[in-house]
Amino acid sequence: METLQKTFFYDKHVALNAKISPFGGFLMPIQYEGILKEHNAARNQAVIFDTCHMGEFILKGSTAVADLEKIITCSVGSMKNGQCRYGFICNEDGGVIDDQILYRLGDDEFLMVVNASTQPNDFAWIKSNLSHTTEIRNITETTAKLDLQGPASPKIFQKLMGQPIDDMKYYHFKYNTYCGERVLTSRTGYTGEIGFEIYCNAELAFQFWDDCLNAGVVPAGLGARDTLRLEMGMPLYGHELDQDTNAVESGFTKSIADKEYIGSTVHKDQSKNKQLLCGITLEGKRAARHGDLILDSKGKQVGRVTSGSFSPSLQKAIALGYVQKEYASQGTSLRIKTERNELAGMVTPYPFYTKASGREPMVKYL
């Protein structure tokens, strides 16, 4: 029987009467006052997520860049200090071991952020593929991470930080001062909205959490996090990505550089690329679920749903799923077979929600 872990914030979630469920090996808050309220607060105000379950590794050494070029799909050498980059860790068959975000801390030093459930295996895989001159440290257990998201978050974040934040660009990070201590802050996000991540020790994170709630920030759980990321067409490991799915088929080819890396031989073989991750908009509010079959207009199975939900922002049901490439064109009519009935849908480009603030200039929200 799996022993579930707790993040630093477990007691705070309980005190707020959060609905707690297992996720990625942790007991995590699914919702507090409700998914709809938390979702809408992220789109229109500000929310805070406990993401302390995520894994963090430090890699450093003269061979760190060369090793990382081999281990992850995105370009590493072209990154500037202070930049973040999304990419995949793949196996020899081109399947996704995990997706990650890499932070370039210095010329020969990096922070890698990975998923909770895959963190132990990620660490072992990466370590086994490093040169003896590249050092790797797992700092997960001593690192707290919180995500402040939403269009009201810049003003709140600026009041709490010691230095200006107006120069923070999308997918970049900087060190700032909070309560007199140096903290790493970044601007990546998983909701599509403008926002920040803060990495620090647990005690400082507790203070940041309390300061945000006192400023009117809404605590949000994984339920809203999932509907928000789905509206943006962002993948969730174990749904859109896994070790048996060719990373190229995910469609996130901007995160796959033209270079040699573990799995690149398979990725460059077009004959291995037979399906594509697509967005699907459904007629009505009834949602498809992970594992539901995708059918063509004649009832033939052409794919499978990876994620599905009612979209609070769009007031309709949306889904992501892999379909055979010949059915992946925009506007193609499909049907989704659920446990109860069949739902009519149409291939739709993602992000489904196109009004998010995530990439807009910081100064617009200060």
- Mean pLDDT, all residues of the chain: 97
Domain boundaries, the chain: 5-52+143-230, 55-138
Phi, psi of 241, deg, nearest 5 = -125, 135
Q: What is the pLDDT of residue 71?
A: 98
DSSP 168: P
CATH number among 1.10.8.60, 3.90.79.10, 3.30.450.40, 3.30.1360.120, domain 5-52+143-230? 3.30.1360.120
Burial zone of 293 (CB within 10 Å; 0-12 exposed, 13-18 middle, 19+ buried)? middle
Q: What is the pLDDT of residue 171?
A: 98
Contact by Cβ (8 Å): 157, 365: no
| CATH no. of 55-138 | 3.30.70.1400
251 alpha carbon, distance to own chain's centre: 15
Percent of the chain whose pLDDT exceeds 70: 99
For 56, the 3-state DSSP assignment is: strand
Q: CA–CA separation, 281 vs 336, rounded Å? A: 11
Contact by Cβ (8 Å): 276, 316: no
Q: What is the pLDDT of residue 1?
A: 60
pLDDT at residue 295 tops 70: yes
pLDDT at residue 252 tops 70: yes
pLDDT at residue 253 tops 70: yes
Q: What is the pLDDT of residue 3?
A: 87
Q: What is the pLDDT of residue 167?
A: 96
